[in-house]
């Protein structure tokens, strides 16, 4: 029986101090097509759960040392996706309520019927599989929306790249013409140079240096554009890092510049905000969607329109962000459906209806919130609240306390 080797994806942790019951429970796990991983106590189970992920767990309530409910609480904190079933010979209403409150999938009494336990374990595994499939489909939707956004931005990116490339090529043509004659002038100056020729050559060298600086600046612009596109387009893993919302918002504004330029001016109102722990590429996708939507909501009528982006710290220490436009607004009957998948008010072929749904999913995946306010004919505001990273928030609080102490 497997006890410590790396378990298969659909593994079930069996925690029971009675060897005979562990054998029976392992047999039931195998009957439902999963791999049993056995532990005689909570300490061993903790070591296994720290190394491996489990689809489900069968936990005896009365264990030597740490009891099963305390272990369940710990397991839910480190593996919230694991469906845990409490199995006990000493059941009562209070412990059943406590187990379910702690997140147990089910609560069963010993002695149990093998078929009954097998059925409930099957249900737990089926729910785990459905959740895995949902997460996989969610990741595919996020990637599909990112690729759709890239398609929308492609023409703008080409335009942004072509502008610096045009003057790079123009300056290179000039250098091709200038450098040979400059080389001949230097040769003549070496043979019989005059003060006037030296002055002329110095001026021409200065012009060449200036042109080379322009070329370098243009090449740097191309490199930055390419880097921004690559960072947004890459298929990221689920790694979370400390993210500065100002940097992410600025990257989104640069990417959406071609949509904004002829419709509105951008007004920035950035206050200090705490760092948040999230996937940077996904947050960039959220802000890009919101900024592009804001630009598309503004008519190209030559009016005095603006897109206002704000950052500030909320009353509970959360990082808050806001994107406001002075566009056409959203009809009241559409407000309740904005975050539903495939809902769109755009013309056919202009939107997938996934953008805001994906935004909401990404924001809520980091325990954040997104809300919207709109008035037809006046504009729309999308507001995000993201929890601060604990360490960063504490550092900010400590700095504030030190500042207050110094002032007093």
Q: What is the rounded average pLDDT of the residues 206-215?
A: 76
The answer on pLDDT for 86 being more than 60 is yes
Question: Given the structure tokens 């059925």, which residue do they identify?
Answer: 119
- 226 CB-near residues (< 8 Å, 6+ apart): 161
The burial of 263, by beta-carbon neighbours within 10 Å (0-12 exposed, 13-18 middle, 19 or more buried), is given as: buried
Instruction: Decide if domain 11-112 falls under CATH 3.40.50.720.
Output: no
pLDDT at residue 269 in the model = 95
- Residues 383, 320 contacting (CB under 8 angstroms): yes
pLDDT exceeds cutoff 60 at 402: no
Q: Average pLDDT of 139-146?
A: 67
* pTM of structure: 0.51
- Tell me which of 293 and 202 has the higher pLDDT: 293
Question: Whole-number mean pLDDT of the chain?
Answer: 80
Give the per-residue pLDDT at 401. Answer: 46
pLDDT of residue 156: 58
Q: How far apart are CA 59 and CA 86, in angstroms?
A: 5
Question: Torsion angle of alpha carbons 60, 64, 69, 71, nearest 10°?
Answer: -100
Q: What is the mean pLDDT of residues 264-274?
A: 93
How far lies 25's CA from each of 19, 68, 268, in Å? 10, 16, 61
Q: Which CATH architecture has domain 241-396?
A: 2-Layer Sandwich (3.30)
Question: What pLDDT sits at residue 56?
Answer: 93
pLDDT over 80 (residue 226): no
User: Please, how many CA atoms are within 13 Å of residue 52, restricted to the half-sphere of its CB?
Assistant: 24
What pLDDT, in 10s, does the model give residues 39-64? 999 999 999 998 888 999 999 988 88
For residues 37 and 354, the model is more confident at: 37
Contact present, 16 and 25 (Cβ < 8 Å):
yes
Q: Is 231's pLDDT higher than 70?
A: no
Task: Kindly state the average pLDDT of the residues 261-275.
Answer: 92
Q: Is the pLDDT of residue 224 over 70?
A: no
Residue 23 has pLDDT above 60, yes or no: yes
The first and second tokens of residue 316, run together, are: 């509970």
């Amino acid at each position: 029986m497997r006890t410590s080797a790396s378990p298969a994806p659909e593994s079930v942790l069996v925690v029971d101090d009675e060897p005979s019951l562990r054998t029976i429970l392992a047999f039931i796990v195998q009957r439902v097509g999963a791999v049993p991983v056995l532990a005689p106590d909570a300490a061993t189970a903790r070591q296994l759960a720290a190394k491996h992920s489990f689809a489900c767990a069968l936990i005896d309530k009365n264990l030597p040392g740490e009891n099963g409910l305390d272990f369940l609480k710990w397991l839910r904190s480190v593996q919230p996706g694991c469906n845990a079933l409490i199995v006990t010979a000493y059941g009562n209403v209070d412990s059943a309520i406590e187990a379910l409150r702690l997140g147990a999938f089910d609560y069963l009494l010993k002695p149990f019927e093998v078929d009954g336990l097998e059925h409930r374990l099957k249900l737990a595994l089926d729910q785990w599989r459905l959740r895995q499939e949902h997460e996989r489909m969610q990741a595919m939707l996020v990637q599909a929306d990112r690729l759709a956004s890239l398609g929308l931005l492609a023409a703008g990116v080409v335009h942004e790249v072509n502008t610096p490339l045009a003057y790079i090529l123009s300056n290179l043509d000039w250098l091709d013409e200038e450098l040979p004659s400059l080389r001949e002038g230097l040769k003549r100056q070496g043979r019989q140079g005059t003060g006037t020729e030296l002055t002329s050559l110095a001026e021409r060298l200065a012009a060449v240096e200036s042109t080379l600086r322009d070329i370098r600046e243009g090449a740097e612009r191309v490199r930055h554009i390419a880097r921004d596109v690559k960072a947004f387009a890459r298929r990221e893993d689920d790694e979370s890092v400390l993210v500065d919302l100002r940097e992410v918002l600025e990257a989104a504004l640069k990417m959406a510049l071609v949509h904004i330029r002829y419709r509105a001016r951008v007004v920035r109102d950035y206050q200090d905000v705490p760092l948040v722990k999230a996937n940077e590429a996904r947050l960039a996708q959220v802000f890009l969607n919101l900024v592009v939507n804001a630009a598309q909501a503004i008519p190209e009528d030559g009016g005095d329109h603006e897109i206002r982006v704000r950052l500030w710290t909320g009353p509970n220490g959360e990082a808050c962000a806001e994107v406001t436009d002075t566009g056409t607004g959203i009809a009241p009957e559409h407000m309740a459906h904005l975050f539903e998948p495939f809902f769109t008010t755009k013309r056919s072929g202009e939107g997938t209806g996934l953008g805001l749904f994906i935004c909401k999913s990404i924001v809520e995946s980091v325990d954040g919130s997104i809300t919207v306010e709109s008035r037809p004919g006046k504009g729309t505001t999308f507001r995000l609240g993201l929890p601060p990273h604990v360490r960063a928030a504490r550092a900010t609080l400590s700095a504030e306390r030190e500042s207050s102490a110094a002032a007093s």
